[in-house]
Structure 1
Amino acid sequence: MDTAVSSTGARARTRRAILDAGTAVLAQNPTASLADVAAAAGVGRTTVHRYFAERSDLVDAIGMDVLDKIGAATDRARPDDGPALTALERICQEYFELGESLAIIFDESMAATWNWESWEEDTEADRALARLVDRGREEGTLDGRLDTDWIVQVLWSLLYVAWQRNRGGDTKHNALSLCLYTLRKSVGAPS
């Protein structure tokens, strides 16, 4: 095996381990240090510093990683398939599974530490979600009295409540079931 390929693969795995550990640790404790992240990743502090010189570098990388995860989750949900309300429920389920990754985004104490200009720009996932909502309003499966931005904000708000409920001890299944039920009732077309 080529040592350069092996080294690149090892570096990618180490970086992934640090990002995953950083996400888990910061979701539980937004003031956690790089030493805390290193311990959770099973690497030394100097290894973390080799990949992310400052805590802010790690936080920025987590932000970009979350955007990538949202994009992949949106693709997995197949927003163009089937009735829009059903597709919106699939997106909700996929986003709910991102739990810890997105919990960081909603933590106000973290907001002061990130520099995520990319979050201010519409991504392809944002555009796909907006197209889905527009389609649902046009086809009549989503309430046409609610504008697209409102429905998108309701989705994210419900996800936040569901994650908080799950973190508070409710089962994932129950928190997601309540989220989906409320989504259907709040944005679905009136019967």
Structure 2
Amino acid sequence: MTAPAARTGVRARTRAAILDAAAEVLTATPAASLGQIATAAEVGRTTLHRYFPERIDLLRALARHVTDLSSQAIVRAEPMGGTPSAALRRVVEGQFALGPILLFVYTEPSLAGDSALWDELERGADPVDAVLVRMREATGSALPLPWIRRTFWALLYAGWEAAKEDGTPRHELVDAIMTTLTRGVLPEPEPA
């Protein structure tokens, strides 16, 4: 008989394999079937349904999983270490790497109307806010934090789209995001 801890470990690994496969498959083919995801996860469709009875259950779990990945990337970026600008760049690079799956989660129509899910997911924005506040204080900006946060995510979204549609290299897009965040698109000239 298998010990409960071993079963839990196997269940956790199987669940993670399904979510990782879903992230990979759905970023390439947003309308992919649960069967395609099960195949990519190397589990049977019945097993997938044991974990996620309906597609929406899988999508909600994937959104939470992606939020966890985003939070882990922020922690790895050490947002409170080094200069505010260097910390912001590390956060941008970490989030940019998650682009395809974040783009899928944020644009998936079946998730868009789930306000309870989005309320839950937005609680993970605090570490991003911390680095944005550091940068705002370092630059003396008077812009409100909600505007800065929206700008941050909108620029990442624009970068992900540019990478996907135009094939612009990642390093150029990270540079463009940082330039836009720190200098603006159309800064007014210094008064004479």
TM > 0.5: yes
Name the TM-score class by shorter chain.
Answer: 0.7 to 0.9
- For 2:75, the aligned partner's letter is D
Q: Any stretches of 5+ residues in structure 1 without a counterpart?
A: none
For normalisation by structure 2, the TM-score amounts to 0.81
Secondary structure of 2:15's aligned partner: helix
Instruction: Report the CA distance between 1:130 and its aligned residue.
Output: 2.1
CA contact (8 A) 1:26 1:32 kept: yes
- Which position in structure 2 is the counterpart of 1:157? 154
Secondary structure of 1:146's aligned partner: coil
- Which position in structure 2 is the counterpart of 1:166? 163
Counterparts of 2:30 and 2:103, CA distance in 1: 10
* Greater mean alpha carbon deviation, residues 62-71 or residues 2-11: 2-11
Instruction: Report the CA distance between 1:67 and its aligned residue.
Output: 1.7
Q: Any stretches of 5+ residues in structure 2 without a counterpart?
A: none
Query: 1:94-113 to 2 correspondence within 5 Å?
Result: 94-112=94-112
Instruction: State the identity %.
Output: 37
Query: 1:80-159 to 2 correspondence within 5 Å?
Result: 80-112=80-112, 115=114, 117-121=116-120, 122-123=122-123, 125-140=124-139, 144-159=141-156
- Which position in structure 2 is the counterpart of 1:50? 50
- Which position in structure 1 is the counterpart of 2:23? 23
For normalisation by structure 1, the TM-score amounts to 0.82
Counterparts of 1:64 and 1:116, CA distance in 2: 14
Counterparts of 1:144 and 1:35, CA distance in 2: 50
Give a deviation string over 1:3-43, Cα, whole Å, max 9, x none: 54444333222211110111122223332221121122222
RMSD: 2.6
CA contact (8 A) 1:106 1:160 kept: no
Distance 1:20 1:157, change over 3 A: same
Give a deviation string over 1:88-117, Cα, whole Å, max 9, x none: 1111111111123201223253435x7462
Distance 1:152 1:61, change over 3 A: same
Aligned length: 185
